[in-house]
Structure 1
């Protein structure tokens, strides 16, 4: 079976699973289809590229299962013309999908290895509206203005106010929160003026965010 056929069959199976969960956004699914998942998965895990399992990547990080990644983006509700901030680049898969829907994506990660590899993958897809930086995401990101959408892929103990301050009015942020020592839940905050509406979405496997840049990796 060719790599292209594997991608096609994997995506088709994913669409069926997502539709069963009520995810049928055509723009989002088209963006996912245009982003070959196998490009973001270590070669030894290629057969699991479209599975719901988490996949280990460099620096002790992991690539969330494709079902979870798309569910998160479904709840983020990105629209054309929007600026998006992603905290936790990882493999770059979510960055690439979001770039096909948004005007601009700024994504940061504490690991130089991850940002370098993600940049290579993004470049190979010809995406020019993604900016990737090595940065400490635990204490906010200053000097970049405001964003329409913010998504975080590492867990905080409470909703980080320094990021919610960077939302435009009407903007929303999705981040995992540690509900207890062993429970992590995805939460969405929507900003209206100076007020925030909080909605708890579902449990996720994300690990607590780690402060400071990685010095070796």
Structure 2
């Protein structure tokens, strides 16, 4: 019941923002968010608040997660690269929409938890790897969509090299010490069109701490 009420309230808030993509909302509805949040926060699964998860990480509020996915515009048949699996919620939703999702997470604990949740939902075509992700995934070919959930001081060009023609990537950029902006880059030939979308509460990418967690 909590799931249905939470989802219904989320849809109303999203519609007020102009987000009404039926394929996306269906994928969200089929991915019970309460299974991705720590048990003590299950009442907040569909709220707009940021929720702490293991390894000092956090998951975006429900509204922000769907707003990002709405702008990413994942389509059937596409290959998606996600840097920062976290709880695996966005990974799972994209897994219902794309041909294949490769997600990279530095913390083994989060990789294991996210893989377990996605397997339990029977979502195919998702691969989660424990890796740093700071340089994208060289050697894995190109992707139609790339989504990054850790902030960079400048737009990382090495990801852009892994985009297909007309592919797009979204990544949070630190505009100044206080402000982080979600930016979308669309690739046309060797040129990129940049759009600044909205501010986000992401944390800067910390290099080389993939470590033991």
Assess same fold via TM > 0.5.
Answer: yes
Within the alignment, does 1:69 sit opposite 2:65 as a pair?
A: yes
1:42-92 alpha-carbon deviations (Å, 9 max, x no partner): 000000000000000000000100000000000000110000000000000
For 1:149, which of 134, 145, 150 is the aligned residue? 145
What aligned pairs does 1:58-207 form with structure 2 within 5 A after superposition?
Answer: 58-207=54-203
Q: What is the CA–CA distance in structure 2 between the aligned matches of 1:215 and 1:140, rounded to whole Å?
A: 18
Matched residue SS, 1:32: helix
Within the alignment, does 1:216 sit opposite 2:186 as a pair?
A: no
Aligned pair count reads 213
* Displacement after TM superposition at 1:213 (Å): 4.5
After TM superposition, which residue ranges in structure 1, 4 or more long, deviate above 4 angstroms?
A: none
Q: What is the CA–CA distance in structure 1 between the aligned matches of 2:173 and 2:29, rounded to whole Å?
A: 29
CA contact (8 A) 1:135 1:213 kept: no
TM-score w.r.t. the length of structure 2 is 0.99
* Displacement after TM superposition at 1:214 (Å): 2.3
Matched residue SS, 1:140: coil
CA contact (8 A) 2:51 2:59 kept: yes
- Structure 2: 5+ residue runs without aligned partners? none
CA contact (8 A) 2:167 2:187 kept: yes
For 2:8, the equivalent position in structure 1 comes to 12
Matched residue SS, 1:80: coil
CA contact (8 A) 2:83 2:136 kept: no
* Displacement after TM superposition at 1:216 (Å): 2.1
Q: What is the CA–CA distance in structure 1 between the aligned matches of 2:15 and 2:41, rounded to whole Å?
A: 25
* Displacement after TM superposition at 1:182 (Å): 1.1
Q: What is the CA–CA distance in structure 1 between the aligned matches of 2:137 and 2:7, rounded to whole Å?
A: 34
TM-score w.r.t. the length of structure 1 is 0.97
* Displacement after TM superposition at 1:210 (Å): 1.4
